[in-house]
């Protein structure tokens, strides 16, 4: 079953169960997928959907930061619940150790020696970890490992 089919099935179940919270976030995701399909003039692949979900999660996290500054704990809880729901559709995320192994092997393979090689390393790593780690996490780790000690 593709990711799109799973999202559609879960949407239908939430509709039948009258689960307003789940229904709301799934409507948002389905709408974003439709917009993507219209802009691409073709159907969305699982990779497209994963990318879209990661973008939504990142936006929710940014919203949470603003809500915390505005002292709105009830909204923070709702946003965190939506993030948890969205994450159920993503592939299992890499642990910190697994990600560090991938980054170290890539640095060694490319022969990167300093911060000037970040672009090469990131360009090589991101296709390997797509959907299983965020660019922010990878970028931070690459900077740490390439910076002079």
- What pLDDT, on the 0 to 100 scale, is given for residue 149? 66
Residues of the chain with CATH 1.10.10.410: 96-146
10, 22 contact by CB (below 8 A):
yes
> How much is the average pLDDT of 42-51?
88
Instruction: Say if domain 3-87 classifies as CATH 1.10.1510.10.
Output: yes
Comparison of pLDDT for 104 and 149, the residue scoring more? 104
The CATH architecture of the domain made up of 96-146 is Orthogonal Bundle (1.10)
Tens of pLDDT along 82-109?
999 999 998 888 888 999 999 989 988 8
- What pLDDT, on the 0 to 100 scale, is given for residue 117? 85
Residues of the chain with CATH 1.10.1510.10: 3-87
- What pLDDT, on the 0 to 100 scale, is given for residue 86? 93
Q: Is pLDDT at 49 greater than 80 in this prediction?
A: yes
Alpha-helical runs (H) found in the chain = 3-17, 20-40, 46-69, 73-87, 96-110, 118-129, 135-146
CA distances from 127 to 47, 123, 147 (A): 11, 7, 23
In whole numbers, what is the pLDDT of the chain averaged over residues? Answer: 90
Assign residue 27 a region (left: φ > 0; alpha: ψ between -120 and 50; beta: otherwise).
Answer: alpha
Structure token pair of residue 36: 């993507």
Percent with pLDDT over 70 in the chain: 99
Residue 55: phi and psi, rounded to 5, are: -65, -40
Confidence band, pLDDT 50/70/90 cuts, at residue 7: very high
Neighbours of 109 (CB within 10 A): 10
């Amino acid at each position: 079953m593709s990711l799109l089919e799973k999202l559609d099935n879960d949407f239908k179940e939430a509709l039948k169960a009258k689960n307003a919270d789940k229904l709301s976030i799934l409507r948002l995701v389905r709408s974003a997928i439709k917009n993507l399909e219209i802009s691409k003039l073709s159907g969305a692949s699982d990779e497209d959907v994963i990318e879209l979900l990661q973008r939504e999660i990142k936006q929710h996290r940014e919203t949470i930061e603003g809500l915390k500054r505005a002292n709105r704990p009830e909204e923070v809880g709702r946003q965190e619940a939506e993030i948890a729901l969205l994450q159920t559709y993503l592939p299992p995320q890499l642990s910190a150790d697994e990600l560090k192994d991938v980054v170290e092997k890539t640095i060694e393979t490319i022969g990167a020696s300093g911060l000037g090689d970040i672009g090469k390393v990131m360009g090589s790593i991101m296709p390997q970890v797509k959907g299983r780690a965020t660019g922010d996490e990878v970028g931070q780790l690459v900077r740490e490992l390439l910076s002079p000690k």
